[in-house]
Structure 1
């Protein structure tokens, strides 16, 4: 079940993203670290009412941010649709113990359905260029790779911007 997060879900999401970061680092994917994702990001998501969690057997096992806010890093991206009616996905995570069971698909389907029901033009996101699993995941869902952005506190490698036109 996917639901809006409550305040206590922030710490649960941090545990999930830290577990994901450890798993990625173990696999030589340096996408997330101690600086990101962080509590401040989840608090901002929560305060904007854009933070969702996935529960399985009464345990939070995943999270996603579905936002209407366009981050400054995205302003120079050559998006496929105008910048006035779009959703942005951030901090999608499923605890490593629950990965490869379709939960990330469930979270993305929720975001895409939300976007369609609310007449958004597209869903936009970025993902790490060195994470082949994520690149394939979004491309199989029909997302188009557009350009690169950099988050130097996370990695010297670029992040690819993607958009799904609805």
Structure 2
């Protein structure tokens, strides 16, 4: 089951993201660190009703942020769809003990379904350039790479931006 997160779940969500960071570091992927993601970000996500959790056997095993707020780092990107309303995905995580079982796919299915139901133009996100597994995951889902950004508080390496158009704009052909 996927539902909105609550404040009492932040410690569990932080355990999940720290376990994910540790797992990535073991594989040489220096994407998340001690400053990202953090408790303050998750508290703000909850305040804005943008943080969702995946519940399996009455336990939080994953999370995803679905927001309509565009981060300033995305300004230089030439997105596929014009500046209509979009959803941006952040902090997608599934505890390493539960990875490889389709839970990240279900979280993204949820986000894409929500986007279609809410009539947004596209789903936009970024993923670390040194994380080929994530890049493959999004490409398989039909996301198209549209550029890159730098997040210096996370890594010296770029993050690739991807977009999945959900509507056909007048005068544009669908990808």
TM, length-normalised to structure 1:
0.99
Matched, 1:33 2:33: yes
Distance 1:73 1:154 in 2: 13
State the shift of 1:70 in Å. Answer: 0.4
The match for 2:128 is 128
State the shift of 1:146 in Å. Answer: 0.7
The match for 2:161 is 161
Counterpart contact for 2:84–2:120, Cα < 8 Å: no
The match for 1:63 is 63
Superimposed CA distance per residue, residues 103-155 of structure 1 (whole angstroms, 9 cap, x where no aligned partner): 00000000000000111100000000000100000000000001110111111
State the shift of 1:83 in Å. Answer: 2.0
The match for 1:109 is 109
Runs of 4+ in structure 1 deviating by more than 6 angstroms, as ranges, are none
RMSD, aligned CA: 0.6
Counterpart contact for 2:151–2:158, Cα < 8 Å: yes
The match for 1:53 is 53
Superimposed CA distance per residue, residues 31-78 of structure 1 (whole angstroms, 9 cap, x where no aligned partner): 001010011111111111100000000000000000000011011110
Distance 2:9 2:79 in 1: 32
Distance 2:48 2:5 in 1: 11
SS in 2 for 1:8: helix
Distance 1:19 1:61 in 2: 11
Distance 2:76 2:43 in 1: 26
The match for 1:152 is 152
The match for 2:14 is 14
* Count of residue pairs the alignment pairs up: 166
TM, length-normalised to structure 2:
0.94
The match for 1:94 is 94
SS in 2 for 1:77: coil
81-90 or 54-63, which deviates more: 81-90
**CA radius of gyration, larger in:** 2
